[in-house]
Structure formats: C-alpha cells, structure tokens
C-alpha cells in the first residue's frame, strides 16, 4: 500500500511539474518569436537555431534544477532581479525586430538568436528557472519529476518551432510582412510585463530599506 501511495505521489508530482514548466515556458510564444526572427532562413539554418535553443535551454534548466537554490543563495540573487534582467533583454530584441527590414542573418547571428531571445528569456527565462527551483525543493523524487517536465516542455517547443513556419506560411506573403511587426509588439509587451513583475516583487524589499522620516518629528 505504501508503494502505491509513493507511486501515486510521484505521478502527481510529475504531472504538476510538466504542467507548470510547460505553462511558464509557453512554447507558443517561443514558436511565434522564432518564426518572426528566422523569416528568410533556410530549413537547415532553422534546424540549427532550434537545436541550439533546445540544447542551451536544457543545460541551463538542468543546471538550476541541480544547483539553483545554492547559486541564488551564494550570489544573493533574487527572482525579481532575474525578471527585470530578462525583460530588459527582451526589450532590446523587440526594438530590433521593429526596426528590422528583413535583412539576412550571418552564420554568427544564428547562435546569437538561439541564445537571446529564444533560449533566454523565452525558453529558460526567470519564470521557468524559478518554477524549476521551486519544484526541486521537495526532495530527490521531485528532481526526477522536474527533469521529465523540462523534457516534455522542450519537446513541445522543438515541435512548435519546427512546424511553426509552415503554419505561418498559410498567412501568405502579405501577412508575413505584418507578422514580424505584430510579434515585435507582443514581445515588447512580454518584456514590459517581465519588468513590471520584477519591480512589483522587489518593491516591498526596496520600501523596507527606505526611511520615510518617521523619526523626523521626534526630539
């Protein structure tokens, strides 16, 4: 009976990990941004970007799953700091997309796109890293569940990015000119939300360090 209870608990934890990590990672957003950024690339170049993105995302998430809480503690890094940093990175990407005129990418750019923004902050951004760290706090069994969650979420992202351009192809040539600009606005909104969330979460800590002059009237 105890074994059945343990199995049921592990299955439940795995389902929570898969659902949480996939929801926070949001493969649909990654697919949309990937499609906009890789317009005009060859299938081989797209596959190179996809594989690099998935590989880097897995390494980063696996690293934080194993050592995240220790790293945050040693360097005194807060989650709001990650959210604000990710938002700033995404703002620069969005402004670049808005100013883009469809120029081609060189070989070195492919790796850059895979790292920023597809890997960070989209696939393994502050939210996903935080979810991974929190989920691994339940013990050794939770670590296995988290790795399964990471694997499932990245597989969904891989499939989405692989077939995303075909879906967007149905929009037509005129639509393809509009999609990158529309995606840039969406990316910019995501970036601003990252920054707002980070500032909102950091505000109590900031306010606690502010002296409002409560002792000014006392003698």
**Can you tell me the mean pLDDT for 81-110?**
69
Q: What is the pLDDT of residue 211?
A: 62
- State whether the Cα torsion 87-90-91-92 is positive or negative: positive
137 Cβ contact partners less than 8 Å away, ≥ 6 residues apart: 69
Q: How confident is the model at residue 162 (pLDDT cuts 50, 70, 90)?
A: very high
Tens-place pLDDT, residues 63-94: 999 987 787 788 887 778 877 877 887 788 77
Cβ of 160: how many Cβ atoms within 10 Å? 19
Question: Which of the given ranges, 13-17, 87-91, 167-171, 183-187, has the highest pLDDT on average?
Answer: 13-17
pTM: 0.71
Token output for 202: 């950091």
Cβ 78 vs Cβ 200: under 8 Å = no
Q: Can the peptide bond before residue 117 be classed as cis, meaning omega within 30 degrees of 0? A: yes
The upper half-sphere exposure of residue 122, i.e. CA atoms within 13 Å in the direction of its Cβ, equals: 29
The string over 165-179, giving b where at least 16 C-beta atoms fall within 10 Å of a residue's C-beta and e elsewhere, is: beebeeeeeeebeeb
**pLDDT single digits (tens) 7-59:** 888 888 899 899 889 988 888 888 888 888 887 788 899 999 999 999 999 99
pLDDT > 70 in the chain, percent: 82
Nearest-10 Cα torsion for 24, 28, 32, 37:
50
| 26 contacts 95 by C-beta, under 8 angstroms | no
Per-residue pLDDT for 102 more than 60?
A: no
Mean pLDDT of the chain: 80
């Amino acid at each position: 009976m105890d074994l059945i209870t343990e199995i049921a608990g592990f299955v439940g934890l795995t389902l929570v990990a898969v659902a949480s990590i996939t929801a926070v990672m949001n493969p649909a957003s990654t697919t949309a941004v990937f499609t906009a950024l890789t317009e005009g690339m060859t299938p081989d170049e797209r596959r190179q970007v996809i594989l690099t993105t998935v590989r880097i995302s897995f390494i980063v998430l696996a690293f934080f799953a194993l050592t995240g809480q220790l790293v945050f503690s040693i360097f005194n890094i807060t989650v709001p700091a990650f959210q604000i940093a990710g938002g700033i990175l995404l703002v620069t990407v969005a402004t670049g997309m808005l100013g883009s005129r469809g120029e081609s990418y060189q070989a070195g750019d492919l790796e850059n796109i895979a790292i920023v923004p597809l890997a960070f902050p989209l696939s393994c951004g502050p939210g996903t890293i935080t979810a991974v760290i929190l989920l691994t706090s339940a013990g050794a069994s939770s670590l296995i569940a988290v790795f399964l969650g990471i694997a499932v979420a990245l597989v969904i992202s891989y499939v989405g990015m692989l077939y995303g351009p075909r879906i967007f192809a149905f929009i037509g040539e005129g639509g393809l000119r509009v999609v990158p600009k529309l995606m840039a606005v969406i990316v910019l909104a995501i970036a601003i939300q990252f920054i707002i969330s980070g500032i909102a979460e950091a505000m109590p800590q900031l306010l606690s360090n502010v002296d409002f002059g409560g002792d000014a009237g006392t003698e």
